[in-house]
Amino acid sequence: MLLVTARRAEAAVRAAVAGMPGDGPDVEVRIAPRDVAALLIPDEVAPLLDGGEWDIVILPGLIRGDVAALASSAGVRVVKGPRYAFDLPSTLAELDDLPLSPDEPADALLSRSRAERAGRLLKDAEAVDIKGPSHEVRGLRIGRGLPVRVLAEIDDCDARPTDEVVAKAQRFLDEGAEIIDLGFTVDATAIRAAEIVEAVLPLGAPVSVDTLNPDIINAAVDAGVHLVLSLHPDNLDKVRPTDAVCVVVPGPGDKVQGVLSMADRARARGFTRIVLDPVLDPPGFGLARSLAAYAHISGTSDLPVLMGVGNAVELMDADSPGANAMLCAIAHELDVAVILTVEASHKTRGTVRECRAARDMMVVAGSLGTYPKDLGISLLGFKDKVRVRDPVGSDLTPEPQSDRSPDLEGGVALSISVTTDDRIQCLVQRDGVDVCLVDGVSARQVWSEVLARGLVRALDHVAYLGAELARAEIAIAAGKGYVQDEPLFRRQRRHWE
């Protein structure tokens, strides 16, 4: 095998080759006469193919031009490797299973291959036979041994306009929820609860009601809900027996005995489709003990179990992706049947998508017998797996800081903001008077319009405009607030000590 690279990536490529297993193919590395691989063309690579015999030649993924023609003239198979050297180890590790191409970079092929594999394994997981009891609602099976179901709660439904509840339910379904949970305030009425249930049912997904009020539960069941959250010692005798799946929760005291006792009482009352919920306590208030209760129930009962991960995620000031990933991993190990999540605050917006991604990662990893990494599914958002540093590779010494004052464009002020519907706006003022408001969905769209109109010409203002618009776009992608001239991310310091 021949690996061709440019000068700047040589060290990374040789390190990747050195890390290959000893029983792998013989590999030679040759360096093209360019600093940057993206500037390479096949004519510059052709001389490097002289004087050697290889089964395959792997070029940088960013090479331009007709690679197939190069292969024809050289009489050897020539393909594209990954676009960036830091992806080379993963490409080489899966070389036997990856159909490398002369047209598409290897990292793109690898990403698509992993995603397709994940899709197949997730589909297979839905078809497995399980031994314990399971409940089917609208074609969705709930039980141990099946993928953990993502149940997304819409809180305070009765206090929201009905069309807002329906829109939020649809968003949750689009982001991976499999069941929609309708939560109600203490002031909710049975009539209003039934009205909301009837509005959400046409979306086609299973619907649950989340309240301890027996009147609300009975009304929601009459309206057609598929799951009831929750039967409690205080309301059990007031809820009419139903064919809906009913989640039972313990009263005060021992969680394990309490929830198992509630299951027995519910059966005696005529409830036949039961799910256990020992209740996950918040961090610092019994989280570890409640997880121990889940583990105990997992080993002693075959009934499906629900875990409300929102209790832990909402009540801790930490970014939600990692917290959701870890809780979903624990739920998967404990054979939990349903996880309940809620986006009750801005800091947890996106938690439905995060729980679905984490659930899918665990299913795929379990099917492959491997760790939940390198699967084509990821919750990495703010950190990268590889910390890439790509110096320009010049022998020049950096210039000292200039003491020349910038050439300011007199009287021009730029005010940049992000709207509630994630659009970027730039208000241009001259001498305190509004000149133009430019609006767009991307930084490029806004700065292109500002420059096309000749609203800003001085280089310092152009540079400032580009930098701030880029930060605004990053803020939208990251789900963060944007304030002009304020940093988006701050490295956490122990400033509170």
Position 314 scores a pLDDT of 93
The pLDDT score that the predictor gives to residue 343 is 95
Outline where 318-429 has alpha helix (H): 320-333, 351-368
pLDDT at 184 over 70: yes
pLDDT of residue 70: 85
Q: Which of 23, 84, 27 is closest to 57 using CA atoms?
A: 27
Percent of the chain with pLDDT over 70: 94
Helix ranges (H only) for 136-275 are 162-174, 190-200, 214-223, 255-269
CATH of domain 2-117: 3.40.50
Q: What is the pLDDT of residues 186-235, one digit of tens each?
A: 999 999 999 999 999 999 999 999 999 999 999 999 999 999 999 999 99
- Alpha-helix runs per DSSP H in 234-372: 255-269, 287-300, 310-314, 320-333, 351-368
Given a contact cutoff of 8 angstroms between Cβ atoms, the answer to whether 288 and 300 are in contact is: no
What confidence tens digit (pLDDT) does each residue in 373-432 have? 989 898 988 777 766 655 555 566 666 766 766 565 778 888 999 998 899 999 988 888
Task: Show the tokens assigned to 476.
Answer: 């939208």
Does the structure show a pLDDT above 70 at 493?
A: no
What pLDDT, on the 0 to 100 scale, is given for residue 458?
87
Per domain, the residue ranges of the chain are 2-117, 134-368, 412-478
Q: Do domains 2-117 and 134-368 have the same CATH topology?
A: no
Q: For residues 307 and 229, what is the distance between their CA atoms, to the nearest angstrom?
A: 12
Stretch 65-74: mean pLDDT: 83
Three-state DSSP state, 289: helix
Among residues 470, 466, 481, the alpha carbon closest in space to that of 422 is found at 481
Percent of the chain that is helix, strand, coil (3-state, to 5): 40, 15, 45
Give the Cα separation of 293 and 280 in Å (integer).
9
Q: Which DSSP state fits 400?
A: P
- The confidence band for 288, taking pLDDT boundaries of 50, 70 and 90, is very high
For residue 392, the model assigns a pLDDT of: 53
Token output for 435: 């000149």
The CA distance from 230 to 149, in Å, is 17
pLDDT of residue 399: 65
Q: Which CATH architecture has domain 134-368?
A: Alpha-Beta Barrel (3.20)
pLDDT digits (tens, 9 = 90+) for 440-489: 999 999 999 999 998 888 888 899 999 999 999 999 988 888 989 988 88
pLDDT of residue 83: 86
Q: Residue 239: phi, psi to the nearest 5?
A: -95, 130
